[in-house]
Amino acid sequence: MKLLAIVAACAVLAAQTPQTQTQTPPVFRSGATLVPLDVRVLDRNGKPITDLKQSEFVVTENGAPQAIAHFSATALTAVPTEDAPGLLRAAARTDTLKPQNGRVFLLVLGRGRLQPPSKGVDAMIEFLRDRVLPQDQVAILAWNRATDFTTNHAGLGELLERFKREHDRIETKLFEWFSGLRAIYGDKRIPPRIQKDIDQVFAVPSLRAAHTLVSDPNERTPTVEENKRRIDALQQAEINSTRPPGTFLTDAIDPVGSMGVEGTLEQFLVRSSASSQDLSKLYAGIEYLRFIEGEKHIVFVTEFGLGLPTFSQDQALAAAANNARVVVDTIQTGGAPAAMPVLASTSSIPTMGFGASFAIRSLRELSELTGGISSVYAYADKAVKRIDDATRFGYLLGYYATNSTQDGKYRRIEVKVTRKGAQVLYRHGYYARPQLTLPSRREMLSYTRMATALMTGVDVYDIPVGFNTREEMDGATRMLVVEISVGLAKLAPVITPAGREYTLELAVVAGSRDQKQVGRFSQQLNLKLPNDLYERTLKDGVPANVTVRFPVTGFPANVKVIVYDFDSDVLGSIAKKIR
């Protein structure tokens, strides 16, 4: 099985044909790639400007003027839920651009306390209750759980009410757990006692079971080396706080302030852990939306913002969102920063100070580069009103790049309008890569779910999985035998007169002590349980057993087994050290 190192993609929202202002459909050039641009133009009061013509737009790519090949303007209208667009995957090739009459929102609830003082959770509840259109597809991602996209806005509202009641208590437990050096070097998995509380928040009867969020915790978060440098700076600052002037360990340049680090070492470790988890969630959310047709919005609600240590990391996150045609709206709920905290503070929850300006800068930069709305130091209900107002009307532009070379490089886009006083929101770039034929939805979800589970260090228990291993020789070839047990109780089988049938995707990867792959196996499993065995499985919890055997090129030290059920869209994975 070809494993793609990306996070699970969702089904897509098909666009109905709304009332639009369009030109004659253009004739598209064979072999060329049409670059779509979702553009919103606002007046000084934040209201959409709705009467612009194509001639009033100017588009450049890497500074070179581009001819607009497609232009349309769309005002969203409400569609009854029963007539809402269905869920389909994105087309492999964009030969035409169709305006959307529905919006796609992924609400990403960050770590920290999101209700006071800006009332962030109340604003999200209001957004679902009063502002979304019946056809708008919405999902919620919080901690390590995510819902499906749905038009069941009432069910999502109930989830947010639970979140409002419980998240402060859960966050306190998480801050205590991910404190000290565990925040940097310890196990990043949420312990079962806290996970149980999180799962209760998502256990809304009218919603499908939440998915376990699996993401790569290593590649896109601050590196261990970066965190070590910041830890050293904080330790040095704490030592200096006990010394008289003239005996400091520092140079004239303050290494703590220069890196945007403040407070105690304990405060940094706690905040750094939360920020890293939020960054992973944003990347996961972007990949979650990648194969959805048209423009998508992430609404990121955060207490403090993103403490990214370098400007390049802001740009990298924005570039990933732009390439997936994802707008990131950001809402900061923690209020204005307080004075610099005293180094000897014993507070378990980090306070805001000078370093908050770096986190706020990241939020504003992310929204600006992706064409979103950013709200900081303000009540969150005003932010959701701005987001709703701005997304009710938009322009869809398309152009063929004058530089048609698909070199994989990032192309910077600039969109201007000739009308004075207008604010233009749009994605600021994309990667020039050939459009590939997309797999079927089964293949796409299977590949991406399993690949991400492979890349992450977190075990997933949505499907109970266990295994034992042994090694044997087949002539001169070393073989790894893996005996796997799979719990079937949560899965949806195909019912036949003879019993139940399950179709599962299985992947097994073996690695050496230095983390190099020494062998792998993948296969689609077709399990058939006669009626009597199925009844015994339900009664006694008897798992299905599968044995696989494959060659390895060295001595395996670590083995990971991943099982995915497309029909139920659930996954189980477990890793073990075997030598």
What's the domain range around 558?
441-577
Six token digits for residue 295:
């423009």
Q: Which long-range contacts (CB under 8 A, 24 or more apart) does 343-346 make?
A: 343/237, 343/238, 343/241, 343/263, 343/264, 344/241, 344/264, 345/263, 345/264, 345/267
Sheet with 145-146, strands from edge to edge, namely: 211-212, 145-146, 137-142, 104-109, 296-302, 326-332, 374-375
Contact 454, 3 (CB under 8 A): yes
Q: Tell whether 161 is covered by a domain.
A: yes
Alpha-carbon dihedral sign for residues 449, 455, 461, 467: positive
Number of domains in the chain: 2
| Nearest alpha carbon to residue 103 among 129, 73, 79, 120 | 79
Whether 406 and 297 map to the same domain: the answer is: yes
Q: 3-class DSSP state for residue 430?
A: strand
- Pairing outcome for strands 137-142 and 104-109: parallel
CB-based burial, 273-293: b 16+ in 10 Å, e otherwise:
bbbbbbbbbbbbbbbbbbbbb
Give the DSSP H/E element, type plus range, for residue 37. strand 34-42
Do residues 418 and 479 share a domain? no
Residues 508 and 565 in one domain: yes
Residues pairing with 329 in the sheet: 299
Q: Write out pLDDT tens, residues 198-250.
A: 999 999 999 887 777 654 433 334 444 444 444 444 445 444 445 555 444 44
Looking at the structure, tell me whether residues 310 and 428 fall in a common domain.
yes
117 prior amide bond cis, ω within 30: yes
Contacts 24+ apart (CB under 8 A), 344-347: 344/241, 344/264, 345/263, 345/264, 345/267, 347/267
Supply the DSSP string of 321-354, one letter for each residue: HHHTTEEEEEEE-S-S--SPPPTT---SSPPP-T
Domain boundary (401, 432, 463) is at 432
Closest CA to 556 of 525, 521, 518, 526: 518
Judge if 462 and 386 occupy the same domain.
no
Both tokens of 87, joined, read 């869920």
Please indicate, yes or no, whether residues 454 and 419 belong to a single structural domain of this protein. Answer: no
Give the end of a domain, one of 395, 412, 432. 432
- Enclosing H/E stretch for 216: none
Q: Are residues 116 and 190 in the same domain?
A: yes
Please give the backbone phi and psi of residue 88, each rounded to the nearest 5 degrees, phi first: -135, 160
Domain boundary among 432, 459, 491: 432
Examine the domain organization and report whether 328 and 468 are in the same domain.
no
Residue 332 CA: distances (Å) to CA of 63, 335, 345, 389 = 33, 7, 24, 19
Tokens of 192: 């079962």
* 458/476 same-domain check: yes
Establish if 15 belongs to a structural domain.
no
Whether 246 is in a domain gets the answer no
Tens digit of pLDDT per residue, the chain (579 long)? Answer: 333 332 333 322 233 334 444 443 433 344 568 899 999 999 999 999 999 999 999 999 999 999 999 999 999 999 887 655 544 445 444 556 778 889 999 999 998 899 989 999 999 999 999 999 999 999 999 998 889 889 999 999 999 999 999 999 999 998 888 776 555 555 667 888 999 999 999 999 998 877 776 544 333 344 444 444 444 444 454 444 455 554 444 433 333 333 344 444 444 444 555 667 788 888 888 877 877 888 899 999 999 887 665 566 778 889 999 999 999 999 999 887 654 444 333 334 444 444 466 778 889 999 999 999 999 999 999 999 999 999 999 999 999 999 988 888 999 999 999 999 999 999 999 999 875 544 455 665 676 677 767 766 678 888 899 999 999 999 999 999 999 999 887 787 888 888 888 889 999 999 998 878 899 898 888 888 888 887 777 666 667 889 999 999 989 999 999 998 887 778 889 999 998
Residues 569 and 491 in one domain: yes
Contact in structure between 277 and 198 (CB atoms under 8 Å): no
In this structure, are 374 and 491 located in the same domain?
no
Q: Which of 433, 366, 424, 434 is nearest to 59 (CA)?
A: 424
Residue 471 to residues 357, 476, 481, 508, 551, Cα–Cα distance (Å): 55, 13, 6, 15, 10
CATH (domain of 511):
2.60.40.10
Judge contact between 116 and 374, C-beta under 8 A: no
Q: pTM for the whole thing?
A: 0.67
* CA dihedral for 543, 547, 548, 554, sign (positive or negative): positive
